[in-house]
Amino acid sequence: MIDELIKILNHKDVEWEIYWEIGRGSSFKVERCELVRAQRKYHSGVGLRIGYRGKVGFSYITGVNHDKNSLERFVNRTIKLAKVSEVPFYGFSTDNKHKKVKALYDRRIEEMSFDDAYSTALFLAEKERELKENLGSEYALSGGMAFGVSVDGIANSNGIEKSEKTTGLSVSVHIIKRAEKSGSGNYYKGFRLMPDLEEELSLGLGKALEEAELSYNAKKSSSYEGEIILEPHAVASLVSILMSNLYGDNVYHRRSRFSKLGDMIASEAFTLIDDATLEGKLGSYSFDGEGNPSQRTVLIERGILKNFLFDETYARLMDTKSTGNAVRDFRTTPHIGNSNVIVDGKNENLEDLEKAVVVKRVFGEHTANPVSGDFSLTVELGYIIERGEIKPFKDNMLAGNIFELISSIVSVGKKKEQIGSFLSPRVLVFGKII
């Protein structure tokens, strides 16, 4: 069908771009140690952008099995939308380089039968029942597993035609301990390649239980201002406030705090990278939603602003090149997003500590103002280390300003943790807990 659609478009006096997806996924949900949901879903569709006399039109169709007449109507409809559009058209990608990122597909995941996945979900439910029998009625356990395969492709009137098959799998565990008070622990891990699922689920149960016990025993702490160690989950929440300031569209429209490359905007101990070329990572891809090849982009290096992230449109508007950061699905037009975000910098050992204030998880980053940088986030879990003893705390607020915080970074740890498409070690900063 894609070939037929290309033939039709090539007979029209327009510029065009098609983006298609074909995929399937299965998911399983465990609640109170019982498998309560098992489902398989399929998705497919084509998005079409038409450039005509400086304007662009967009529409999409679901499915990839349409006859020629349906495709003709689809193309003509999109051309009509372009003719009445008020959205400026700046051109489609011309970069036809092929850069294959490794380890994004695993045949074992694609060929994993629904029955085999169902059996693994039952294994998770069984392991949770066994754990609950040992722990007692104060504990409630839940979790889930999901896996899928997808083919994404793009072609345009500049001769670009690319496609890529990828796989993904995730496991999650959630434990609540509730008696006269309550505490919760979570574990989530995503993969491109098949892990040892039984080992991963057992590890997840152990990690979630450890966190639930800390949370259960946590109390609100007294206010504190000074050096704080942020664990990777907390770093991810804070960096998410910063990221929109590094998107080219926000820079162009002056919605970003930053405007000039080369400025010192953070501590010399801090480096931030966007890298879609990492083997086997969840945020990796060989080409972006406009067909531009993936790349590694250093955003902040030793505190100095080095680059912004661009799609094709805003790269042209700002007289630069796309960084391969156009994200989309077939139902949407491209917009700027990040791939794998990596925190690096001045490395020190932040693992074996006799005395420290540590913030493990926070929430509420969506309430922060990314331009002013002000934030006040609830501490979901933290702990104080005194002479090797751990004293957990929660429900305080981590308050401050993201631009002041990245300027206060003292060092970053040596051991990185992957959280979705975010990779970071611990980070030592100057901060305030209230």
Number of Cβ within 10 Å of residue 232's Cβ equals 23
Assign 374 a pLDDT band (cuts: 50, 70, 90).
very high
**What is the overall mean pLDDT for the chain?**
96
Name the superfamily (CATH) of residues 2-213: PmbA/TldD superfamily (3.30.2290.10)
**pLDDT surpassing 90 at residue 351:** no
Calculate ∠ Cα 244-245-250, nearest 5°. Answer: 80
pLDDT of residue 387: 84
The residues spanned by each domain of the chain are 2-213, 218-434
Average pLDDT over residues 49-54: 97
- Order the strands of the 417-419 sheet from edge to edge: 304-305, 296-301, 270-275, 341-345, 422-424, 417-419
Alpha carbons 179 and 23: distance in angstroms, whole number: 44
Q: What is the pLDDT of residues 146-158, one digit of tens each?
A: 999 999 999 999 9
Average pLDDT over residues 330-334: 98
Alpha carbons 35 and 11: distance in angstroms, whole number: 53
Q: What is the pLDDT of residues 59-103, one digit of tens each?
A: 999 999 999 999 999 999 999 999 999 999 999 999 998 889 999
